[in-house]
Amino acid sequence: MPAELICFESSCRARYAVTEVIYNCPRCGGLLEAGYDFSSVAAGEWKRIWRQRRTSNAPLDQSGVWRYRELIPFLDDYRHVVTLREGNTPLLDAGRAAAYGGLRRLTFKHQGFNPTGSFKDNGMTCGASQARRLGMQRVACVSTGNTSASMAAYAAAGGLQPAIFIPHGNISYGKLAQALEYGAKTLQVEANFDQILKLVRVLAEKLGIYLLNSINPFRIEGQKTIIIEMMDQRDWQAPDWIVVPGGNLGNVSAFGKALRELRELGFIDRTPKLAVIQAAGSAPFYEYMSNPGGRFQAVEHPETLATAIKIGDPVSWPKAKHEVIASGGLVEKVTEQEIADAKVQIGLCGIGCEPASAATLAGIRKLTAAGKMDAGADVVAVLTGNLLKDPDYIFRYHTGQLEAPGGVRIESTFGNRPVVVANDAEEIAALLG
């Protein structure tokens, strides 16, 4: 199926070969997206094929990304594919979290079940495969944690040389450990995410390194499959809302693209509303969408303990704006306290997640309280990362030691402090009784 890169800007729409190593439109500077000729789609037949592939032992079929390869047909040879059997992430009902959020029912799509513990794997399998297809030897990314872990793993699996740039002192050890273990050259730069991204883009062009941040359109293609798999798991019945944390805004851009294509191709009969939730200290997209007619302004010094969404100048905001508006969705922001408390409520369902993921439930709670989301709505919230991505955060919350940026103490509202006891059966029995 013919594929090409297309400028996302409606006033440009310039087209380029998928083999060009570009991340922005050379003509206007706009973002790029992969486009295909879907004129011969057989939705019913493809649904049947995708279900059959679940029982296949072929590596492509076992991947929850490449299983749906008919909808991401940018490769000319599947021998380029780098896969760790990514995707295949569950939908989990969470009654206690639903009640906390003001809903009668809530389902989590948990991307923390991916090989490196985050949604980044869905995109990275496509980005790394495209790098191999282009004959690139070195790949790089700027990361607050999850991207670095994922890129390092897929580069190692694909025989590529990974270089990772992270903000010094702004990454959890749970994420940094993964990048080190997978053999990535790791540079801790004395700057924030947005400043480092500008630096790395210069280095990538100068040294011939392939950039695998979410500005790479093939990363977005992989992240599209989160929605395709979700709809397949729901027997193609679209929910009312899909709620997602907002950092660099690649996920909402990918989700919106997937929903548009699925609707246009006849896989679903309606489009869910997209709700993007940002941390209050890193919420440029919320501020922009709350001020119609205003100009997008980056947050120069973003702050949040939810490091996965600690991004003040998200590169994908033009795509995210289009997808939120097209779906009839909205953007909300939540405080550090709201994120921390929501995270515990998710945990009390037996479902763990990293702090950024919990922004979804915190946002849902605000939206239902404000009457913007109905209590009876069919809602799927995306949990982006695994519980063990940031275990230090969890311990500090439950022991009353967690502080927000600026030294403001976060209340241990639902704290579960460990208790030190003597080696005395009677004393312990009295305590438990």
Give the distance, in angstroms, between the CA of residue 196 and the centroid of all CA atoms in the same chain. Answer: 20
> What HEC string does 298-352 produce?
CCCCCCCCCHHHCCCCCCCHHHHHHHHHHHCCEEEEECHHHHHHHHHHHHCCCCC
Q: Is the pLDDT of residue 36 over 80?
A: yes
Average pLDDT of the chain is: 95
115 vs 167 pLDDT, higher one: 115
Query: What's the mean pLDDT in 262-277?
Result: 97
Per-residue confidence band for 2, with pLDDT thresholds at 50, 70 and 90:
confident
Q: What end-to-end distance do the CA atoms of the chain give, in Å?
A: 67
Residue-wise pLDDT tens digits, 381-424: 999 999 999 999 999 999 999 999 989 999 999 999 999 999 99
Two tokens, residue 256: 């919106």
Q: Is the pLDDT of residue 59 over 90?
A: yes
Rg of the chain over Cα atoms, rounded to whole angstroms, equals 21
pLDDT at residue 173, as a whole number:
78
pLDDT at residue 225, as a whole number:
98
Q: Is the pLDDT of residue 193 over 90?
A: no
Query: What's the mean pLDDT in 11-28?
Result: 97
Q: Is the pLDDT of residue 144 over 80?
A: no
Q: What is the widest separation between alpha-carbon atoms in the chain?
A: 77
pLDDT at residue 147, as a whole number:
92
Residue 101 identity: G
Query: What's the mean pLDDT in 243-257?
Result: 96
Fold of 91-115+217-398: Rossmann fold (3.40.50)
pLDDT at residue 228, as a whole number:
98
> What HEC string does 392-432 produce?
HHHHHHHCCCCECCCCCECCCCCCCCCCCCCCCHHHHHHHH
Q: Is the pLDDT of residue 328 over 70?
A: yes
Q: What angle do CA 175, 137, 223 make, to 5 degrees?
A: 50
Per-residue confidence band for 170, with pLDDT thresholds at 50, 70 and 90:
low
Distance CA 131, CA 191 (A): 27
pLDDT at residue 172, as a whole number:
74
Query: What's the mean pLDDT in 84-111?
Result: 98
Whole-prediction pTM: 0.95
pLDDT at residue 1, as a whole number:
59
